[in-house]
């Protein structure tokens, strides 16, 4: 996912993940925008606005940060900057003013939804820059986000209990 810049304390990163969900776009979209219901790697808190609305901000607290010895604070923010309902959800990811996890983070997460009849292709791209002393350790390779997307797929594809 990442590569060092000329400055070894800066990583430029890109991650692309894709999943096929066996449900229509509207169902996948409605679950996706409520990230607290499917993201398992972080505790998600809405701090401004409403899910799916431009300008909404969430605080994402990485659950394993303390266990991995990451410096405080153990959270970062995501601000929704573009919404095309059922098609694109774009948010900016950034660290706390003093840094998050011992890093300065700025990035963009771009989720694209493609209708394939009764199925949905969800493509998730992250483009970002990390800098800071903590980069001496290996940065994330995207496993957490892949597991989160697989959880989204599993939740959306569950049969509805009308009982």
Looking at residue 10, its pLDDT comes to 84
* Alpha carbon separation from 71 to 31, 64, 77, 82 (Å, rounded): 32, 12, 16, 31
Looking at residue 98, its pLDDT comes to 93
The rounded distance, in Å, linking the Cα atoms of 136 and 72 is 16
The rounded distance, in Å, linking the Cα atoms of 22 and 29 is 13
H or E stretch covering 12: strand 10-21
Show the tokens assigned to 16: 């692309």
Looking at residue 7, its pLDDT comes to 74
Looking at residue 132, its pLDDT comes to 85
Is the domain covering 2-155 a CATH 3.30.530.20 domain?
Answer: yes
Looking at residue 160, its pLDDT comes to 76
**Predicted confidence pLDDT, tens digits, the chain (163 residues):** 456 667 777 888 899 999 999 999 999 999 999 999 999 999 999 999 999 999 999 999 999 999 988 999 999 999 999 999 999 999 999 999 999 999 999 999 999 999 999 999 999 999 999 888 776 554 556 789 999 999 999 999 998 776 5
Tell me the pTM.
0.90
């Amino acid at each position: 996912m990442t590569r060092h810049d000329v400055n070894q304390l800066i990583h430029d990163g890109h991650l692309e993940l894709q999943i096929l969900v066996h449900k229509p776009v509207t169902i996948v979209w409605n679950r996706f925008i409520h990230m607290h219901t499917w993201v398992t790697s972080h505790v998600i808190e809405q701090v401004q606005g409403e899910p799916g609305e431009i300008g909404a901000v969430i605080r994402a607290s990485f659950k394993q940060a303390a266990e991995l010895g990451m410096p405080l604070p153990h959270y970062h923010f995501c601000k929704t900057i573009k919404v095309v309902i059922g098609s694109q959800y774009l948010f900016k990811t950034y660290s706390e003013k003093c840094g998050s996890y011992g890093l300065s983070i700025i990035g963009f997460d771009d989720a694209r939804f493609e209708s394939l009849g009764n199925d949905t292709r969800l493509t998730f791209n992250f483009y970002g820059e990390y800098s800071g002393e903590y980069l001496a350790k290996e940065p994330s390779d995207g496993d957490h986000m892949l597991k989160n997307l697989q959880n989204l797929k599993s939740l959306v594809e569950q049969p509805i209990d009308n009982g």
